[in-house]
């Protein structure tokens, strides 16, 4: 029988045969006697034993012999099913082919089972206690089940290939060496189920390829100060369900691809002074949920993440300085606030300076695009205005030259109040109307006070205008006529009023303060009022009116140019 001898470890059992294991314990004898019946699955009451006893003790060497079918001991089609056993020694199935299920539920293992590079159907260790599991590169046609098990060491499944799922609901895994579950580069057609699990140590699913869900609903994962849940480059065909999960340490899915939702509803993720949840460069085909009392104590990193939709609530957002959204792309908000004020508060929780940058414009631009596509155009515009203000502030902060900084401050201030940085070009019209009305008042007062005069050299040299500057009791010699004539102004009457009362002035155009102000303000119009009237600096209130005349002309040119630039988009930041 030497041809059947394995190469190492407990493999020598195959040489010695079953007889070499005599005497069998009562438990072992029962297992052997019912090996092929298919209806025997428990020792004693089937519950997990608390101590060794002949009625419960089964040597791992015997189990290996039976599992491999040595010496004609062929397993029942249901495979090996046993519960309530106290298993001594090492169950070493490394590199073995086992064409049946291995079911060792509610057992107590003294040593970690070894299934490295083994090929099996299903592995059931539900409810068992063991110091670890070493199943690197395991190939299973079905699942690996650890539901309700207690593992006081590392569960190793790196490079494993499963036709089903890892089922570890309610498992308790405690590892003092850092990683509690190492399933790096795992391939599973099913999912990874850790519902209600307690894991003291890290979980590593980096580069895993999972056909179903990664479900850790209600789980508790503890690895403070380090990476507690590592899903970097993981591909999951279903949901990433973290509802109600409690994680002490970093939860990280950099470059991952989630085919369904990433659901952090009611989750508590804590990694103070570090990243509590990292999805940067990840892709989420479904929605990202952060709601119903979810808390993030640490940074939420969504840098360059692509998300189909976001459903969140303000109370669950991270603190100021703990949000990273640069280059994050999302399609819509399916829940949570969609008004500009709330979403600007959301964006304000970014602190680019903490990460070596001064400002990130993309989060504002993308938020505006999403709000606009959802029909919230006014909110989208408000977001873009805030983006312009912050971006220009960052640009001024970068300026080293004080003169340049002052010029930028003045320009930005003018653009802010007139055009909202080009985002509201029609706002320039409000300023036009304001200056139009102010000018109407200024020129109306000036006209009534006699501080306006005809804008015609012929009229200004005319006798009617000249003599109206004198009261009727006064006279003046006029060289043009060689005569001395009496004044025409009544007592207390100003020159302009006197002139308007002269019959000769009846054909001169009337002064209209409303049209005059508009004519001064808009250089592109030619109403004609400026051609006939102008402020008289020689009269009381005249100097001020003349200065305002020039000021309003300059303002008119400036507002016209700004409006054109605003509508053409020239003043917007790129």
Whether residues 351 and 327 share a domain: the answer is no
**What is the phi-psi region of residue 398: left when phi exceeds 0, alpha when psi lies from -120 to 50, beta otherwise?**
alpha
Whether residues 172 and 291 share a domain: the answer is yes
Q: What is the pLDDT of residue 9?
A: 38
Whether residues 181 and 80 share a domain: the answer is no
Other CB atoms within 10 A of residue 475 CB: 14
Residue 368 in any domain: the answer is yes
Whether residues 142 and 205 share a domain: the answer is yes
Q: What is the pLDDT of residue 471?
A: 80
Reading the block at residue 201, the tokens are 């140590």
CA distance 260 to 320: 29
SS3 at position 392? helix
* β-pair type (483-486, 475-478): antiparallel
Whether residues 291 and 171 share a domain: the answer is yes
Q: What is the pLDDT of residue 528?
A: 82
Q: What is the pLDDT of residue 171?
A: 97
Reading the block at residue 218, the tokens are 């209600």
Whether residues 307 and 345 share a domain: the answer is no
Quick check: 162 and 182 in contact, CB under 8 A?
no
Quick check: 301 and 276 in contact, CB under 8 A?
no
Quick check: 472 and 490 in contact, CB under 8 A?
yes
Q: The pTM is what?
A: 0.79
Whether residues 433 and 556 share a domain: the answer is yes
Q: Counting Cβ atoms within 10 Å, is residue 477 exposed (0-12), middle (13-18) or buried (19+)?
A: exposed
Whether residues 288 and 382 share a domain: the answer is no
Residue 403 in any domain: the answer is no
What pLDDT, in 10s, does the model give residues 450-477?
Answer: 888 888 887 887 777 888 878 877 777 7
Q: What is the pLDDT of residue 356?
A: 86
Among 336, 351, 383, the domain boundary falls at: 336
pLDDT in tens, the chain (574 residues): 333 434 433 333 334 566 777 788 888 888 887 766 656 577 878 899 989 888 899 999 989 988 887 655 666 777 788 899 999 999 999 999 998 899 999 999 999 999 999 999 999 999 999 999 999 999 999 999 999 999 999 999 999 999 999 999 999 999 987 899 999 999 999 999 999 999 999 999 999 999 999 999 999 999 999 999 999 999 999 999 999 999 999 999 999 999 999 999 999 999 998 999 999 999 999 999 999 999 999 999 999 999 999 999 999 999 999 999 999 999 999 989 999 999 999 999 999 988 888 899 999 999 999 999 999 999 999 999 888 888 888 888 888 888 888 887 887 777 777 766 667 777 778 888 898 899 999 999 998 888 888 888 878 877 778 888 788 777 777 776 677 777 787 887 888 888 888 887 778 888 899 999 998 888 777 888 888 888 988 888 889 999 999 998 888 888 877 777 766 666 666 5
Q: What is the pLDDT of residue 331?
A: 96
Backbone φ, ψ for residue 103 (5° rounding): -120, 105
Residue 344 in any domain: the answer is yes
CA distance 316 to 303: 18
Q: What is the pLDDT of residue 130?
A: 97
Other CB atoms within 10 A of residue 225 CB: 12
Concatenated DSSP letters of 472-517? TT-EEEETTTTEEEE--BPTT--HHHHHHTSGGGTTSPPP-HHHHH
Concatenated DSSP letters of 238-305? S-EE-TT-EEEEEEE-TT-EESS-EE-TT-EEEEEEEEEEE-TT-EEEEEEEE-TT-EEEEEEE-TT-
Q: What is the pLDDT of residue 81?
A: 87
Whether residues 458 and 482 share a domain: the answer is yes
Count of structural domains, the chain: 4
Among 398, 417, 449, the domain boundary falls at: 398
Residue 66 in any domain: the answer is yes
Whether residues 190 and 295 share a domain: the answer is yes
Quick check: 256 and 235 in contact, CB under 8 A?
yes
Q: What is the pLDDT of residue 573?
A: 64
Residue 412 in any domain: the answer is no
**Residues contacting 253, CB < 8 A, separation 6+:** 231, 232, 234, 240, 262, 278, 279, 282
Q: What is the pLDDT of residue 18?
A: 66
Range of the domain at 544: 427-563
Among 356, 380, 398, the domain boundary falls at: 398
Backbone φ, ψ for residue 526 (5° rounding): -135, 85
Other CB atoms within 10 A of residue 245 CB: 27
Backbone φ, ψ for residue 163 (5° rounding): -80, -15
Q: Which of 82, 114, 86, 90 is nearest to 13 (CA)?
A: 90
Whether residues 312 and 343 share a domain: the answer is no
Quick check: 487 and 405 in contact, CB under 8 A?
no
What pLDDT, in 10s, does the model give residues 373-392?
Answer: 999 999 999 999 888 888 88
Residue 124 in any domain: the answer is no
Whether residues 319 and 344 share a domain: the answer is no
Residue 546 in any domain: the answer is yes
Residue 285 in any domain: the answer is yes
CA distance 301 to 366: 16
Q: What is the pLDDT of residue 11?
A: 36
Q: What is the pLDDT of residue 422?
A: 65
């Amino acid at each position: 029988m030497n041809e059947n001898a394995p190469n190492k470890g407990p493999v020598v059992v195959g040489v010695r045969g079953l007889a070499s294991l005599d005497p069998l314990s009562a438990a072992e004898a029962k297992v052997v006697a019912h090996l092929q019946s298919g209806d025997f699955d428990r020792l004693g009451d089937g519950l997990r034993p608390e101590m060794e006893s002949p009625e419960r003790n089964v040597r791992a060497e015997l189990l290996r012999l039976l599992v491999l079918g040595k010496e004609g001991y062929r397993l029942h089609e249901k495979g090996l099913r046993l519960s309530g056993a106290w298993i001594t020694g090492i169950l070493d199935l490394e590199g073995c082919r086992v064409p049946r299920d291995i079911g060792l539920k509610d057992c107590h293992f003294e040593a970690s089972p070894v299934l490295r590079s083994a090929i099996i159907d299903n592995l059931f260790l539900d409810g068992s206690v063991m110091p670890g599991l070493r199943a690197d590169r395991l190939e299973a046609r079905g699942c690996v089940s650890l539901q309700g098990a207690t593992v006081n060491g590392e569960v190793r499944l790196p490079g494993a290939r499963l036709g089903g799922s890892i089922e570890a609901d309610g498992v308790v895994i405690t590892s003092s060496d850092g990683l509690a579950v190492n399933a790096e580069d795992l391939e599973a057609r099913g999912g990874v189920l850790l519902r209600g699990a307690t894991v003291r140590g890290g979980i590593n699913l980096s580069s895993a390829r999972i056909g179903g869900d990664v479900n850790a609903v209600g789980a508790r994962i503890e690895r403070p100060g380090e990476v507690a849940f590592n899903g970097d480059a993981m591909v999951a065909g279903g949901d990433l369900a973290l509802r109600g999960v409690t994680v002490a340490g970093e939860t990280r899915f950099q470059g991952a691809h989630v085919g369904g939702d990433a659901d952090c509803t009611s989750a508590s993720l804590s990694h103070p002074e570090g990243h509590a949840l990292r999805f940067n460069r990840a892709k989420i085909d479904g929605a990202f949920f952060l709601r119903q009392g979810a808390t993030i104590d640490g940074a939420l990193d969504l840098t360059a993440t692509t998300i189909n939709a976001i459903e969140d609530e303000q109370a669950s957002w991270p603190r100021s300085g703990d949000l990273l959204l640069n280059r994050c792309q999302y399609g819509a908000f399916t829940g949570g606030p969609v008004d500009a004020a709330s979403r600007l508060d959301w964006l304000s929780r970014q602190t680019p300076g903490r990460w070596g940058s001064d400002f990130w414009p993309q989060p504002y631009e993308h938020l505006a695009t999403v709000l606009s596509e959802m029909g919230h155009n006014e909110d989208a515009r408000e977001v873009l205005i805030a983006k312009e203000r912050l971006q220009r502030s960052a640009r001024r902060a970068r300026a080293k030259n004080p003169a340049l900084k002052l010029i930028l401050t003045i320009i930005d201030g003018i653009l802010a109040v007139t055009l909202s940085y080009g985002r509201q070009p029609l706002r320039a019209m409000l300023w036009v109307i304001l200056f139009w009305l102010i000018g109407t008042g200024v020129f109306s007062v000036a006209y009534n006070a006699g501080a306006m005069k005809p804008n015609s050299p012929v009229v200004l040299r005319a006798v009617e205008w000249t003599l109206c500057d004198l009261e009727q009791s006064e006279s003046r010699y006029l060289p043009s006529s060689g005569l001395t004539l009496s004044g025409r102004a009544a007592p207390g009457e100003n020159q302009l009023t006197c002139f308007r009362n002269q019959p000769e002035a009846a054909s001169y155009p009337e002064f209209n303060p409303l049209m005059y102000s508009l004519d001064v303000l808009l250089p592109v119009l030619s109403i004609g009022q400026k051609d006939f009237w102008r402020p008289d600096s020689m009269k009381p209130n005249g100097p001020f009116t003349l200065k305002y005349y020039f000021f309003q002309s300059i303002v008119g040119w400036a507002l016209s140019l700004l409006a054109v630039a605003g509508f053409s988009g020239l003043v917007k930041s790129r």
